[in-house]
Amino acid sequence: MEDFPSVLGGISADQFLSEYWQKKPLLIRNALPNFESPLSKDELAGLSLDEDIESRLVFEQGQSKPWSLEFGPFDQSIFRNLPEKHWTLLVQAVNLWVPEVKKLADQFYFLPPWRLDDIMVSYAPKGGSVGPHFDYYDVFLLQGLGQRKWQLGQTCDSTTPVLPDTALRILSDFEVTQEWLLGPGDILYVPPKLAHWGTACNDCLTYSIGFRSPSLTDMLGDLTNMLMTQNHSSHYKDPPLTMAMAKTTIDPMFIQQAKLMLNNLIENDELLNEWFARYMTLPKYPDLSEALGELRIAQIGKTHYINGERKI
């Protein structure tokens, strides 16, 4: 009988990957039994004072308008003057700084390790939230301390309306479809583009284990930069011309020719393999990763790629 990984509760890794991954949400009660948060709220606040660590404060009721955002690093005095509720502290890439948080990634062994983006940790008092929103990446929301109410909504995309006059991409309309209360050790998996809204019911720490999902635009831009760096010298060549094509209107044959040449470039497996492995192993924070000895590793054949560099 197959042993189910505890983090997925009563389903197998194969079932999760085939039925849920990037398809639909999954609530896993008691995914990590007897889980105790490796961080306290004071320790998280301490990380946000460091200029090398990306952090943010979100206020549902700002000084002049709802939903204001401030960026760290913060001064210790700011935490003495915060309101009693309706704010959230978010600290990125805590896995780079706290070994116990980094170990949480081991629970997700059924996913390629180079797909991990980072583990963000957030703290909020009662009512704290970052509003209804959606992401383009997969995230496992692990409750570490206290209770948080999670609501799921509609599937979104770049055309979904958001509130104006705020740096936060908060949905202007949120259609609640499911709702749960999570306690320590519970996990909610949220696939890309699904609207979600978490609200702290009391002092609350949440671990967001996110898996990167770069835009195709960014990927194509990076591929282009690599081709330019390596002096790939393919040039456009016309399709067989006829007199009928000698006009200002662009004949569809020209488009087909460009498409064919670009496809030929993309179908160069050796080139594409090297680019993809390099791109997907680039650290989120290159300077920090080097200083901390953090490695992102992938392998194609016998070739290793470490932090975006090719190693035989």
Model's pTM, two decimal places?
A: 0.92
How far apart (Å, rounded) are the C-alpha atoms in residues 139 and 220? 24
Q: Is 151 helix (H, G, I), strand (E, B) or coil?
A: strand
By DSSP bridging, strand 204-211 and strand 297-300 are unpaired
How far apart (Å, rounded) are the C-alpha atoms in residues 285 and 78? 26
CA within 13 Å, CB half, 254: 10
Q: Using one digit for the tens of pLDDT, what is the confidence trace for 99-152?
A: 999 999 999 999 999 999 999 999 999 999 999 999 999 999 999 999 999 999
Classify 308 in phi/psi space as left (phi over 0), alpha (psi -120 to 50) or beta.
left
Contact 105, 209 (CB under 8 A): yes
DSSP state of 160: S
How far apart (Å, rounded) are the C-alpha atoms in residues 7 and 291? 31
Tokens 């087909």 found at: 256
Q: Using one digit for the tens of pLDDT, what is the confidence trace for 145-180?
A: 999 999 999 999 999 999 998 889 999 999 999 999
Q: Using one digit for the tens of pLDDT, what is the confidence trace for 175-218?
A: 999 999 999 999 999 999 999 999 999 999 999 999 999 999 99
How far apart (Å, rounded) are the C-alpha atoms in residues 136 and 118? 14
pLDDT at 62 exceeding the cut of 70? no
Assign domain 216-311 to its CATH architecture.
3-Layer(aba) Sandwich (3.40)
Q: Count the Cβ atoms, other than its own, within 10 Å of residue 30.
A: 14
Q: Could you give the C-alpha distances from 223 to 218, 229, 266, in angstroms and in order?
A: 9, 10, 10
The two tokens of residue 138 are 């997969």
Gyration radius of the chain over CA positions: 23
Q: Could you give the C-alpha distances from 80 to 48, 63, 75, 146, in angstroms and in order?
A: 14, 17, 10, 21
Q: Using one digit for the tens of pLDDT, what is the confidence trace for 255-275?
A: 999 999 999 888 989 999 999
Give the CATH fold of the 6-211 domain.
Jelly Rolls (2.60.120)
Which among 107, 109, 166, 117 has a CA at the least distance from the CA of 142?
Answer: 107
Q: Could you give the C-alpha distances from 50 to 44, 53, 227, in angstroms and in order?
A: 11, 6, 37
At residue 254 the predicted structure's pLDDT band, cuts being 50, 70 and 90, is very high
Q: Where are the chain's structural domains?
A: 6-211, 216-311
How far apart (Å, rounded) are the C-alpha atoms in residues 4 and 10? 6
The two tokens of residue 249 are 């209107």
